[in-house]
């Protein structure tokens, strides 16, 4: 699959490298084509580079590492119709907490900005250091990744791409839940800043299945 990146920073580099190893065709984009081509050359595996607009036009799946909606940095968003946009961004880390602002995610803003695209929230809760591991190592460790989106096919394709990285995807429901994933990232980043540990990742651990000992779950309680 042809996977493009808006932005050629840390996450783009490690994810692009990992997908290149998995034999996907990777294209890096940035405001400077020269910068993205340098990153592609560094990665190897036939990766290429160009501008963000070239990525928008050429790629089937686009990973946005730019903390902004597409119309703010692309010449046109018309080329994005039916394309899958994986948004892995988190908002600027808040120093003064204003909870009412947390109810709106950048992923939803991107979907509103490009209604014809299929936006999936994913990969915003893994630090770049996680992808120093190869896919087999991450799979053996049981590392998980949450995804949220409104288009089931787009989520399935995203899940398959995450599997290529060694991640087990967990369906977190519709795109309207993306704000919760961004809030979760704020918690993880707080921990990372406090401890210096960038390798902690979120995940659900399933308990063994057993018959209820104390009655069934009551409706509406969770």
E runs forming strands in the chain: 2-6, 25-30, 48-51, 61-64, 84-87, 118-122, 144-149, 168-171
Q: What is the pLDDT of residue 208?
A: 77
The arithmetic mean of pLDDT across residues 103-121, rounded, is 94
Question: In this structure, is residue 213 part of a structural domain?
Answer: no
Residue 201 belongs to a domain: no
In this predicted structure, what is the pLDDT of residue 157?
97
Residue 62 falls inside a structural domain: yes
Q: In this structure, is residue 54 part of a structural domain?
A: yes
Mean pLDDT of all residues in 44-68: 96
CATH code for the domain of 175 = 3.40.50.720
Closest CA to 151 of 117, 178, 113, 182: 117
Banded model confidence at residue 214, pLDDT cuts 50, 70, 90: low
Q: Strand pairing of 48-51 and 25-30?
A: parallel
Q: Does residue 168 belong to any structural domain of this protein?
A: yes
Look at residue 212 and tell me if it is in a domain. Answer: no
36 is in which domain, residue-wise? 2-195
Global confidence as pTM:
0.84
| Number of domains observed in the structure of the chain | 1
Confidence of residue 216 (pLDDT cuts 50, 70, 90): confident
Residue 216 maps to a domain: no
Average pLDDT, the chain: 91
Least confident of 15-24, 81-90, 127-136, 210-219: 210-219
């Amino acid at each position: 699959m042809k996977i493009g990146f808006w932005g050629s920073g840390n996450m783009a580099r490690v994810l692009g490298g990992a997908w290149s190893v998995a034999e996907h065709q990777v294209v890096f984009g940035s405001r400077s084509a020269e910068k993205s081509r340098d990153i592609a050359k560094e990665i190897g595996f036939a990766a290429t580079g160009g501008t963000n607009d070239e990525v928008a036009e050429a790629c089937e799946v686009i990973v946005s590492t730019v903390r902004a909606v597409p119309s703010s940095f692309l010449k046109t968003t018309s080329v994005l119709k039916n394309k899958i946009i994986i948004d892995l961004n988190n908002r600027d880390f808040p120093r003064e907490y204003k909870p009412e602002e947390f109810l709106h995610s950048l992923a939803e803003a991107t979907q509103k900005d490009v209604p014809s695209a299929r936006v999936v929230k994913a990969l915003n809760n893994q630090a770049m250091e996680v992808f120093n591991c190869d896919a087999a190592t991450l799979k053996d460790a049981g590392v998980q990744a949450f995804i949220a989106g409104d288009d089931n096919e787009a989520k399935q394709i995203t899940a398959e791409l995450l599997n290529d990285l060694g991640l087990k995807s967990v369906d977190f429901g519709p795109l309207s839940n993306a704000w919760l994933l961004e809030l979760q990232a704020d918690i993880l980043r707080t921990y990372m800043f406090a401890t210096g540990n960038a390798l902690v990742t979120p995940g659900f651990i399933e308990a063994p299945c057993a018959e209820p000992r104390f009655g069934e779950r009551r409706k509406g309680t969770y």
